[in-house]
Structure 1
Amino acid sequence: DFAAVVIINLLVSLGVALFFIPSLLDKIPLPVKHSARIVKRKRKTIWFSRHYLRYIEFGVRYRAILVVIAILAFGLPLFLIPDKLPKDSDTSSSNQAGIQLTPFQVFYNRTIGAKKFNQDIRPVIEKALGGSLRLFADKVKTSFGYYYYGGGGDEVRTKLNVTIGRSQEGLTIENLNDVCARVENMLAGYKEIEMFTTSIFSAESANMTITFKPEDENGIFPYILKIRIEDFLMGIGSYHVYVSGVGKAFSNQVGSEYISGSWTVALKGYNYDELMGYAEDLKSRLLEHPRIQEAYIMGSGERYQNKKITRNRMSFDESFLAVNNSDIRFAFSEIQKYSRSVYPYSQVYINGFSAPLTVRSAQSEEYDLWTVQNTPIITREGMFVKLKDFSGIKQDITDNKITREDQQYILMVMYNFIGNYELGAIILKRNISQTKASLPLGYSADRSLYSYSWGQKQSNFYLIFLVILIIFIICAVLLESLSQPLAVISLIPFSFIGVFLTFHLFKIRPDEGVLAALLLLAGLVVNSALYIVNDYNNFSKRGKKLSSLKIYVKAYNAKIIPIALTILSTVIGLSPFLLSGRDERFWFSLAAGTIGGLVFSVIGLILFLPVFMRFGLREGVRRKA
């Protein structure tokens, strides 16, 4: 939506500039003024032009030095060079000994990949040559986690944050509410507490925030209360706790309730039941290996963020149901009577108030698994049967998710392998080959490699290179040159330096607005250079007996005021997003990055654009020889 608004705005402004403004100037002509102030301003322009011409002659003579300074200011991406080769996310230094390395990889690991180089030499080189790009990259690396929605002028007060999570499956939201009520009763006895709030999101977790009275929040009481909360919740089983806010954060979560697996096979197919059958076969083969203790069938590819959920899967004897004139729907309706699932109903009105209504089976708390399987039920034909006669219940640990991609269901068979990487890869490849041999047309089985979502978002930054390429092509057509467009697009890296320094100096957290700011700057800053270079070409074609450098200074004087007004108007237009504070996550970073880039592009326009131009070294430079 933002891109569409910008495109429409630019198209409308183009029509206004081509048709409305000329007609307006024809009806309301601007008078030509002659005054002493104008003469004085022209004298200042001549004085500036004389000194600016000397700087250009100096810059052209020592162009190589200025180019090196510009490159170092932007920075070299040395931090992207891998520490070791091969760079594989599933290998580590402990198990790379058995991998056959190429001669180049051996040489690389002995030089750049050496421990001495990475620990002592590489940090110094990265700081010396990384420039503003390294500062911005460090800022991006520390941008994981939660975004703080607090204005810069907000008063920060001492508070305790207590997160209570369920460690044992089967506990309900009522159980969690009882635990929170017990903690609240304990907190109510302390007069130093100003307020505490509890938020129960689900049966999985709850959060408590505790604030203190102003006279006690900077003392020792918050630390004492933190220790007492830790001791109190440690005595409650089936729940883990995370306490933070003052001192060192505390957590007694061991992570055993989460699904973990370093090897994953992704199966895809258009029929979920058949795909589940193939996943079960693969899981059974994997568990036959003595080095594989556990295997899980999951609906998503998250390896470390899914809790173990025990799911009861029921299988039916369809022939038995058909003989007794019954179907799966009948069996499902019978077993549903004993389910502990909660079914949300509609809203009900009680004493004039609307309240949500949920339906739960009354027998779910009274019947155990054996009773459910052995209780006689009446079929439609009047026969008494038991659920165990035509069905079976099996418990599986899973994430209880169903995922589809490109009209295909996806199941992940995840497991841990006890052994080195090479043997694990052989076992994985063998099982994938056996699974592929049994899959029909339209199904697939391949290894799934885990990748962080941040890396997927970073791939959008490569769009900047596409935008720069398009700008270069347009400028080459407009200027009828291949060298001048290079000078024009050289302002883009200078504007990026401004973005990098802005986020580093003002400690702004990068987010999605950074990419929008970089793309916007790539289109804005080249306009300033195009104004000057286009006038330079027009003045050169007129055949006046002036040196190339003087022609450039004349073009610069003719366009610098419109350029300055354009940049100033853009900065003013983006300023309201800065005044709104850092709460505006996208818009604040967009405005800050764009303003910083535009301001820094002025330095590149004045000092470096004439250096990057090729003037042919005519008499403007030879006079000093």
Structure 2
Amino acid sequence: MKKLLLSHRRIKEVTVSSEFSWWKDDYTEFYLEFDKRRMAEENLTAYDLFAVLRPVFMRDQLAGSILYDNGVEYLRLSSAQSRDYDVWAFMSVPFLVKGKQYKLSDLAVLAKGQAPKQVAKENQQYRLCLQYEYIGSSEQGKKLLEKDIDTLRKRLPMGYTVESDSAYWSWGKEDHSQYFLLLIVISIIFFISAILFNSLSQPLAIIFVIPVSYIGVFLTFYLFGLNFDQGGFASFVLLCGITVNASIYILNEYNAIRRNFPGLSPLRAYTKAWNVKVIPIFLTVMSTILGFVPFMIGEKTPFWFPLAAGTIGGLVMSVIGIFIYLPVLSVSGTIRKTIRRQRK
């Protein structure tokens, strides 16, 4: 797959690691790149070469253990020649394989390149991740990747799979159920608020504050050049609950003041409710923002970093929505009704 990607002019570098990372991993190793055609002609495998070279170059090889009264002592073997041979000897000294002499330089090339530190295991499968830098439009790069994946799938032996886990937003080409989930969450919030306040207008005021917080999410991803992935969508769901909490606190206090003081004007009652709840609301917002700050420090993980960035940006914008839009949407109608009654 790496060679297939590097065959394109717009792809300059491909890295192989055990997991996807936002940062380039500079870890490198020496490795042998075998001449598969020459080895096939000589009827040799990599295991045949390893079996011959290992006794000569091995170090600290576990050979067994000795049991005694207080514990176990492990036996390790090291070849006497392993410290005498250098890289030149490793590649040039002839060795005998299947009755014939070969030099390793005739069958392989010693190279140094980027390699994964470990091989990760996920869902009972060993996994390697390929990342590359593509110069060009994202849509063209997406088509190119899908074409290469289809080409490689035809060549892979049984038991191997290849799939795309790109950072761009993709939960399946035909799967748009995530947007329907947002509507379900908003509907649940509306019905619960309607039951709590015994009203339809106040729950609508609460719901309309949610899109204001979404503006903060979009601005955060746009201004800082972040990729909108599952973490960004999770911040949408999280903001639904956090944003409406502050609105529910204020409106619940507002309704309680109106019941206790019927003669108080709606604007004055809302001002009192705001003064009572503003400090707990700001403390809740600030504590939530500070709670997500650790996810933005260090490595930019594909899920947690966008989740933290989107939530913080949405919470900052939700304060503006609660301060401006909530009183306009919830109290303005009551004020107009009060004015009409006074005129009559």
TM-score between the two structures when normalised by the length of structure 2: 0.54
Evaluate the alpha carbon distance shift between residue 587 and residue 199 of structure 1 in structure 2; reply closer, same or farther with a 3 A threshold.
closer
Structure 2 counterparts to residues 426-445 of structure 1, below 5 A? none
| 1:510-549 correspondence runs (5 A) | 510-549=228-267
Task: Give the letter for the 2:308 counterpart.
Answer: A
The CA RMSD over aligned residues, in Å, is 4.5
**Whole-Å Cα distance in 2 between the matches of residues 457 and 167 of structure 1?**
42
> How many angstroms apart in 1 are the aligned matches of 2:106 and 2:212?
57
Structure with larger Rg: 1
8 Å Cα contact 1:489-1:526 kept in structure 2 = yes
1:560 paired residue among 278, 283, 292:
278
2:70 pairs with 1:197: no
Q: Give, in angstroms, the shift of residue 616 of structure 1.
A: 4.8
Aligned with residue 306 of structure 1, among 135, 149, 153 = 153
- Does residue 615 (structure 1) correspond to residue 339 (structure 2)? The answer is no
Instruction: For residue 457 of structure 1, report the CA deviation from its aligned partner.
Output: 6.1
Mapped to 2, the partners of 1:565 and 1:487 lie a distance apart of: 22
Q: Matches of 1:531 and 1:572 in 2, distance apart?
A: 21
- The DSSP-based 3-state class of the residue aligned with 2:253 is helix
Instruction: Evaluate the alpha carbon distance shift between residue 179 and residue 497 of structure 1 in structure 2; reply closer, same or farther with a 3 A threshold.
Output: farther
Deviation at 1:567, TM superposition (A): 0.5
In structure 1, C-alpha distance between the alignment counterparts of 2:106 and 2:22, rounded to whole Å: 29
Identity over aligned pairs, percent:
38
Letter matched to residue 306 of structure 1: R
After superposition, the C-alpha distances for 1:434-475 in whole angstroms (9 at most, x for unaligned) are xxxxxxxxxxxxxxxxxx853366532421111111111110
Q: CA deviation at 1:555?
A: 1.3
1:601 correspondence with 2:321: no
**1:572 Cα deviation (Å)?**
1.2
| Residues 569-588 of structure 1 aligned to structure 2 (within 5 Å) | 569-582=287-300, 584-588=301-305
Q: Distance in 2 between matches of 1:488 and 1:532?
A: 10
Q: 8 Å contact 2:209–2:322 — kept in the other structure?
A: yes
- The code of the aligned residue for 1:197 comes to G
Q: Could you report, residue by residue, the CA deviation over 1:584-625 in whole angstroms, capped at 9, with x for unpaired residues? A: 3322121111111111100110111112123250456999xx
Secondary structure of the equivalent of 1:521?
Answer: helix
- The aligned counterpart of 1:490 is 208
Counterpart of 1:149?
A: 22
Task: Tell me, in whole angstroms, the C-alpha distance in 2 between the residues paired with 1:455 and 1:561.
Answer: 45
Deviation of 1:548 after TM superposition, in Å, equals 1.6
Determine the C-alpha separation between the residues in 1 that align with 2:286 and 2:317.
13
Q: Which has the higher contact order (CA 8 A, sep 6+)?
A: 2
- Within 5 A, what are the aligned runs for 1:281-360? 303-308=150-155
C-alpha deviation, 1:542, in angstroms: 2.2
Residue 402 (structure 1) shift: 10
Contact kept in structure 2, 1:180 and 1:198, CA below 8 Å: no
Alignment partners' CA distance in 2, 1:166 and 1:468:
61
Corresponding residue number in structure 1 for 2:81? none
Deviation of the 1:304 alpha carbon: 4.7
CA separation of 1:529/1:148 partners in 2, compared to 1, >3 Å: closer, same or farther?
same
Structure 1 residues 144-169: Cα deviation after superposition (integer angstroms, max 9, x where no partner): xx954318xx9x9xx9xxxx99999x
Give me the whole-angstrom Cα distance separating, in 1, the residues matched to 2:158 and 2:311: 44
Contact 2:34/2:107 (CA < 8 Å) preserved in 1?
no
Alpha-carbon distance change, 545 to 589 in structure 1, aligned in 2, over 3 angstroms: same
State the match for 1:469 in structure 2.
187
How many residues align? The count is: 229
Check whether the contact 2:212–2:321 (CA below 8 A) recurs between aligned residues. Answer: yes
2:165 maps to none
Residues 462 and 167 of structure 1: CA distance in aligned 2, closer, same or farther (over 3 Å):
farther
SS of the equivalent of 2:218 reads helix
The 3 A distance-change label for structure 1 pair 402 and 576 is: closer
Aligned twin of 1:592: 309
SS in 2 for 1:509: coil
Distance in 2 separating the partners of 1:166 and 1:513? 44
Residue 334 of structure 2: SS of its match in structure 1?
coil
Q: Given residue 545 of structure 1, which amino acid in structure 2 is its aligned partner?
A: G
Displacement after TM superposition at 1:576 (Å): 1.3
Conserved 8 A contact 1:525-1:598: yes
How do 1:40-79 and structure 2 match up within 5 A? none
Cα distance in 1, alignment partners of residues 106 and 174 from structure 2 = 40
Q: Could you tell me which residue of structure 2 aligns to residue 551 of structure 1?
A: 269
- Offset at 1:486? 0.7
Indicate if the aligned counterparts of 2:205 and 2:329 stay in contact, CA closer than 8 A.
Answer: yes
Could you tell me whether the CA contact under 8 Å between 1:461 and 1:515 is conserved in 2? no
